[in-house]
A and B are shown apart, each in its own frame.
Chain A
Amino acid sequence: MKSLSAMPSWTMPALGAALVALGFVADPRLGAILAVWLGAWGLNAVMASRGRGAGVRFLVPLLFGATLLGLWEMAVRLYEISPIILPAPSVIAATFAENTPTLWADFRQTILKGALSGYVIGCGAAFLTAVAIDRSPFLQRGLLPVGNFIAALPIVGTAPILVMWFGFGWQSKAAVVIAMVFFPMLVNCVQGMKASEAMQRDLMHTYAANYWQSFLKLRLPTAMPFIFNGLKICTTLALIGAIVAEFFGSPVVGMGFRIKIEVGRLSMDMVWASITVAAMAGTAFYGLVAVVERRLTFWHPSQRTG
């Protein structure tokens, strides 16, 4: 690192230009792609080293993402990659626009009915269980290792069983989601309940506070960061559970179902459109929980710095 920064500032651009030239010699298409890539990278590097404001922090990843999309588009066009293998972003966007009703119906089925209901029930049940076993250190000592163990297992493998039990409808998907989010959420909640310091509990003792006063005024607020950590982890798990569960059987609607049959038909543009919906849904869901977290745990050091 020391030697790199000691080199004069024209070495990197010179190196880049040399690479591009080499690329052109080998294959003009490769050269074009390299030119765009290295040019964008250079622009990003300049912005990163000069700019400090929030605008830069926003612009750099945006440029990075846009560059990736641009390179993707270029590669598909220039190398005439078959749409069966990899469709271009422009094609995917077009498919997205054309099939919005279908994608929306899929979204409603998988995300709103399957993932969301399972998430609410699963996380709620986990929280209530954590409160219930809060008064028993014995149960906690037993449940925490078992819960950690189960949380690491491929729970998604229970999907075929749950589809068999609950049928093809959204209920089985919700069941899979519940199975997937319960233990990670439980582990986080139990950790949160234990997070209050001994000194704080002593203070409550000197006030002769009863169990519920101590719980509501001290232990619950202290547990909030942990609870939200669990909630954020579970958003992704819920989405995965709902979509994968649909691979095992679903009515003719749903994102997992859509992906499965469009893969079978080799219409990859539709598959990618579905994936885009999944990505947007995932980010939006996580972002929503993060916003609520910020409001409720504004006091926590992790929310105050940066």
Chain B
Amino acid sequence: MSATADTAAGGGIGALGRGLGRVSGAVLPVLTVVACIVVLWYVAAIGMNRAWTLDAAQRQGVELTAGEIIADAMRQDRPVLPAPHQVAAELWNTTMGEPILRERRGEYRPNPRSLFFHAWQTLAPTLMGFVIGGLAGILLAVGIVHNRAMDLSVMPWAIASQTIPILAIAPMIIVVLNSIGLEGLIPKSLISAYLSFFPVVVGMVKGLRSPGAMDLDLLRTYSASGAETFWKLRLPASVPFLFASLKVGIAAALVGTIVAELPTGARFGLGARLLTGSYYGQTIQIWSALFMAAICAAALVATLSFVERVTLRRMGLDR
């Protein structure tokens, strides 16, 4: 990305200074942008919430100073736009402030007030579906690359399916499966599997086909079989592509699970929290659920990135 130089060779303070310079060169702009966003957020919150404050004051026939308006705008119960600290407080209270299990009638059950509980309700089917979809995608990709009939018949549909808003029909699939008795984890996993399946197929096919004619010819001169070519050349070459599409797949799977929870009136899960928040006008709840979903998405992608870096380093492919 940026043209900063590689490892600083010299020793001592010089290297430390250059290292710090490099880090701040990468981190400082990001921090600045984030800080700007937070400031803009506060300004927007004050701007959007004060209408309510002014309304209430007018009805009570009270005059408020600017300072009081601002203070009130940041403290409302059902603000139009919650201030950052309100969201942070809610996040803290519903995660650290609530036990994950609580006692009910003599036994320990999950606590529906804990955001961790809801997050897990969403993450579990996401992960299960992602694993299934990913594996199935890899297998199908292998089949497509080695079998011309599969290639010609399936690939156009795989590519076309990326243009179809599959996400939008996720809730419907849940309802159908519910009506035949499949509830809870399985239907949501199926959605998540389907959504991660196609990016993985397309990415893996691109990866398996990435070796150039020159590399394939070399193996041909060794009389390597198709299987040997696969294990020694195609599969290792496809690893970067695989990870790229896995990251897309898992983000899609998470969103899919959340969307799947929507119109069925699910009670547990991040999508359910979004829904109940919007029904009861609990904007802070909506925002904290949204942030939790964001944190989960970031954590999943970060984990994959970490695995990718370790794998690529072991393969000598990291640059």
Cβ of B175 to closest chain A Cβ, rounded Å:
5
> Taking the complex as formed, is B41 at the interface, i.e. its CB lies under 8 A from any CB of chain A?
no
A285 within 8 A of B: yes
B179 with A142: CB separation less than 8 A: no
**What's the nearest-Cβ distance from chain B to residue A48, in Å?**
4
Residues A143 and B163 in contact, CB atoms below 8 Å apart: no
Residue of A1, A84, A239 near B230 (CB, 8 A) is A1
Within the complex, what minimum Cβ distance (angstroms) separates B109 from chain A? 27
Smallest CB-CB separation from A149: which chain B residue?
A: B298
B242 at the interface (CB under 8 A from A): no
Q: B297 to chain A: which residues have CB within 8 Å? A: 152-154
Place the interface of chain A in its size category: 35 or more
- Which residues of A sit under 8 angstroms from B262, Cβ to Cβ? 244, 247-248
The smallest beta-carbon distance between B24 and chain A, in angstroms, is 11
Which residues between 111 and 156 of chain B lie within 8 Å of chain A, taking CB atoms? 146, 148-149, 151-156
The reply to whether A275 and B169 contact each other, CB–CB distance below 8 Å, is: yes
Query: CB within 8 A of B289: which of A84, A157, A286?
Result: A157
In chain A, positions 123-145 with a C-beta closer than 8 Å to chain B are 137-145
Does A156 reach chain B (CB closer than 8 Å)? yes
Q: Which of A233-262 contact B (CB under 8 A)?
A: 235-236, 239-240, 243-244, 247-249, 255-256, 259-260
* CB-based contact B294/A153 at 8 Å: yes
Tell me whether A142 and B294 are in contact (CB under 8 A).
no
Q: Which of B8-16, B210-218, B273-281 contacts A (4 or more CB under 8 A)?
A: B273-281
Please indicate the chain A residues that have their CB under 8 angstroms from the CB of B179 in the complex. 84-85, 266
Q: Give the docked Cα–Cα distance between A146 and B226 (Å).
A: 43
Q: Which residues of B contact A165 (CB under 8 A)?
A: 48, 80
Are the C-beta atoms of A160 and B176 separated by less than 8 Å?
A: no
- Residue B205, interface by CB 8 Å: no
Decide: B278 and A154 in contact? CB cutoff 8 A: no
B2 on the A face (CB < 8 A): yes
Complex CA gap A141/B179 in Å reads 50
Q: Is the CB of B254 within 8 A of A2?
A: no
B-side interface residues toward A, CB under 8 Å?
1-2, 25-26, 28-34, 37, 48, 80, 146, 148-149, 151-157, 160, 162-165, 167-169, 171-172, 175-176, 179-180, 225-227, 230, 247, 251, 254-255, 258-259, 262-263, 270-271, 274-275, 277-278, 281, 283, 286-287, 289-290, 293-294, 297-298, 301
Which 4 interchain pairs have the tightest Cβ spacing? A142-B29, A1-B226, A64-B153, A160-B278
